[in-house]
Chain A
Amino acid sequence: MYLALVIAVLVALVLVLTRALLGPTIYDRMLSVNSAGTKVVILIAAYGFLTGRPDFVDISLLYALINYITTIAVLKFFEYGDLGSGAYQEDDI
């Protein structure tokens, strides 16, 4: 069962990475990077169960956090042109 899960995650990961390499726009790539991050989270959790030691699940938790931060940072870069601009919130104006 875990082996099937790991293989399914690997197949999905390869498909998503294909979109990241093809992606016509930069937003396609960003979307597939975010999606691949979720796949890696599942892969690490499932791999721990596959090898019989489900103790490393907190790494997948950490990955979920890092993936989110990276996505938000890159999207801020898209919208504002540089990274420091997020300090200007709408209340400031």
Chain B
Amino acid sequence: MELLVDIVSGIFILIGCVFMVGGAVGLIRMPDFYTRLHAASVTDTGGILFIMIGLILQALFIFDNPMAAVKLFLVIIFIFFTAPTASHAVAKAALMANIIPQCQDGKSVVDKSLASIYHDKKLSPTDAKQQVKTVEGDDRV
């Protein structure tokens, strides 16, 4: 039984390690910001999922410590909510700062800056903030 748990959790942890180190190498090797973002964010979430599943198996069956297993499960849930949110926020902030996604030959994907397209559809945060200031005065600053 213990051998079986060790083998299964070892496989899970190995998969997670491959994800994690692969993502880190991608973060170094990828050419521009958005590809790096892709490499880092997806592998982070996947890697932590597999590693934590392996550790949960170990905590339940080898260490006989269900409390640690529950905490690890909470870590999984929490990372699953926050890591994509953080990646999305980073990507949106970069888009707002006029960092344009590029093709392999160095050309831009779009001829118009994506941020300006975004601004056309919707108010940018800076404009929105200025509007708020002009409407309401200084009492909320």
Interface residue ranges, A against B (CB under 8 Å)? 1, 4-5, 8-9, 11-13, 15-16, 18-19, 25, 27-28, 30-32, 34-35, 38-39, 41-42, 45-46, 48-49, 52, 54-55, 57-58, 60-61, 64-65, 67-68, 71-72, 75, 78-81, 84-85, 87-88, 90, 92-93
Which B residues touch A68, using CB under 8 A?
Answer: 82, 85-86
B131 adjacent to A1 (CB under 8 Å): no
CA distance A49 to B37 in the complex (A): 30
Encoded as 1 (CB less than 8 Å from any A CB) or 0, chain B from 66 to 91 comes to 01100110110011001101110110
Secondary structure dominating the interface of B: helix
B44 adjacent to A38 (CB under 8 Å): yes
A93 adjacent to B131 (CB under 8 Å): yes
CA distance A90 to B25 in the complex (A): 39
Which B residues touch A54, using CB under 8 A?
Answer: 55, 59, 63, 65, 68
CA distance A49 to B58 in the complex (A): 9
CA distance A27 to B97 in the complex (A): 10
B86 adjacent to A71 (CB under 8 Å): yes
Encoded as 1 (CB less than 8 Å from any A CB) or 0, chain B from 84 to 117 comes to 0111011011101101000000000000000000
Q: How many residues of B contact A (CB 8 A)?
A: 58
B90 adjacent to A42 (CB under 8 Å): no
B90 adjacent to A38 (CB under 8 Å): no
Chain A: CB-nearest residue to B65: A54
B44 adjacent to A35 (CB under 8 Å): yes
Chain A: CB-nearest residue to B79: A64
- Shortest A72–chain B CB gap in Å is 6
In the complex, whether B52 has a CB less than 8 A from a CB of chain A is yes
Chain B: CB-nearest residue to A58: B71
CA distance A27 to B35 in the complex (A): 12
Which B residues touch A85, using CB under 8 A?
Answer: 125, 129
CA distance A64 to B78 in the complex (A): 8
Chain B: CB-nearest residue to A24: B33
A19 adjacent to B75 (CB under 8 Å): no
